Structure 1
């Protein structure tokens, strides 16, 4: 019979699991809201997580929500509801439908305002044809045989 040994459980951060999952082994729709907010944050912050990765939460420890600065380039879509998703009291988190509705409303407003320009990450490279067309493998073989 296999027995789960708690000392064998690796430490994780709040970027991976909400506190009720880590500390109480409870997973609900509110936990999905926490995780969705983490994903939204990572998209806006070019992959940087909202919670420090060096602050590990161990089972049985009290999890403390850090203060998270909003990415400066996204000030136009700043909304308190994202931070509400990280409330340690699950019942005080917004629903996933409320979170979605809030961001849809923000983006619809931004689309109507044509002065808003979406920042392009520095890692973006546009796809385009190469400056000099390279011969295909078949063309190389054909010309090599002549």
Structure 2
């Protein structure tokens, strides 16, 4: 999966989660956050936890961000981190880990995750887009700043 495709999926997930929250709907259990497991409480901050899990699974298919069980799991977790795609390390370290804070009140809002993701991935996306064939669309976008070009590139790849 290319960086542009990956970014498009993550941004669409974040937009979808913002929409779900605007209607007051919630997601079902899957790798539940602590407040769901221990107190049967579910809130928007729980969705932040789940969304980070989905983003993790897009960026690192077949792995879990949490080491379950014994020392074998710790070894598995170490392997997951060693095999993490280098270009996504900043996303993992600066965005996803904040979403799994035990105190749900300290987790970022969906809009903050989305803006951080766009900020972090903007240069990666622009770099990948600039390697694509340059046609008439590129000529229209050359006067825009990199952030606007990134948004236009994402909109064009939908």
Gaps of 5+ in 2: 1-28, 71-76, 132-158
1:113 aligns with 127
The match for 1:134 is none
2:86: which partner in 1? Answer: 74
Partner Cα distance (1:82, 1:70) in 2: 17
**Whole-angstrom distance in 2 between the partners of 1:111 and 1:25:** 39
Deviation at 1:108, TM superposition (A): 2.0
Aligned to 1:87, what secondary structure does the other structure show?
coil
Partners of 2:82 and 2:97 lie apart in 1 by 10
Aligned to 1:101, which of 115, 127, 136? 115
Deviations 1:93-143 (A, max 9, x none): 0001111111122222212224999xxxxxxxxxxxxxxxxxxxxxxxxxx
Residue pair 1:42, 1:49 contacting (<8 A) in 2 also = yes
Match of 2:145 in 1: none
Q: CA deviation at 1:38?
A: 0.8
- Pair 1:41-2:56 in alignment: yes
Give the TM-score taking structure 2 as reference length.
0.50
TM-score (norm 1): 0.53
Number of residue equivalences:
94
Report which of the two has the higher share of helix.
Answer: 2
The CA RMSD over aligned residues, in Å, is: 3.1
2:100–2:107 contact (8 Å) kept in structure 1: yes
SS of alignment partner, residue 78 of structure 1:
helix
- Indicate the structure whose relative CO is greater, using CA pairs within 8 Å and at least 6 residues apart: 2
Is residue 60–residue 85 contact of structure 2 (8 Å, CA) maintained in 1?
A: no
Q: Which segments of 5 or more consecutive residues in structure 1 lack a partner in the other structure?
A: 1-13, 56-65, 118-146
Larger Cα-atom Rg? 1
Match of 1:121 in 2: none
Deviation sequence 1:27-71 (CA, Å, 0-9, x none): 00000000000111111111211112447xxxxxxxxxx998375
